[in-house]
A = this chain, B = another copy of it.
C-alpha cells in the first residue's frame, strides 16, 4: 500500500484556476484531481494547465462531495483564517501544512485534500465532514489566497512526505465509530445543545490522532461495554 493524495476542488468558479491547479499538481508529482460541480472547463482551463493537460483531462467530475471522497480514509479541508468567531468549533483547531505532513508521515491510505469555492469557501455542513482543518499561515491584513496558490503551497509541503506502513482507518469503520459515539451520547442523556459540538470535537480528535483500524475496533468494543453497563440498560 502507499499514501495517495487526491485534490478535490469543490464547485470551483473560474476555469483558469482549475487549469492552474492541474499544473501545480503535476509540478509536485500529484495527479488525482476531482472536481465537484465545476464551472465549464474550456480553452482557458487548458491554457492555464499548460503541460498538465493530462491531469486536467483525467479529472473526475462528481455532483457531490460524498462521491468525490468515497474512497478516502481522511478528509482534509483547507480554509482561510477568518477573523470571525463564528463557527469556531468547526474551524478550530486548524493545522498548518507542516503539521499535516508530520501527521501523515509513515502512513498509507488515501487522503482527500479539499479546497472550497473561490468566493465563500466551504459551507458549514461541508466543514463538519472534515477530519482535519488545514490553514495556510498568511498575513492578517490579506489572508485570502488565490485557489491555485493555496493548492501549490499545500502540495509543495506534502511533496517530500515519507509514507510508511501504518494504515489509515477505513472511512466506513470511522463513520460507524462516530455513529456509535452519538448513540452513547443519547444513551447517557447528554444535553442536546452540547451534542453537536462534542461530536465534532470527537471527530477532530480522531482525525488528528490518525486512527489505525485496530484502534477503531477497540474503541467500539469500549463503547459496547459502556452501553452494556449503563443504568438504562441494567434496569432492563
Besides the known contacts A23-B146, A26-B139, A138-B159, 15 further A-B residue pairs in the complex with CB atoms under 8 A apart: A24-B146, A26-B141, A26-B142, A27-B143, A27-B144, A28-B138, A28-B139, A29-B138, A51-B142, A52-B142, A136-B156, A146-B152, A148-B149, A149-B152, A152-B152
A219–chain B nearest beta-carbon distance, Å = 36
29 CB < 8 A contacts A-B: A20-B146, A20-B149, A23-B142, A23-B145, A23-B146, A24-B146, A24-B149, A26-B139, A26-B141, A26-B142, A27-B142, A27-B144, A27-B149, A28-B138, A29-B141, A48-B146, A52-B142, A136-B156, A137-B159, A137-B160, A145-B152, A146-B148, A148-B149, A149-B149, A152-B152, A152-B153, A153-B153, A153-B156, A156-B156
Q: Which residues of chain B are within 8 angstroms of A20 by Cβ–Cβ distance?
A: 146, 149
A198–chain B nearest beta-carbon distance, Å = 33
In chain A, residues 111-145, which have Cβ atoms closer than 8 Å to a Cβ of chain B?
136-139, 141-145
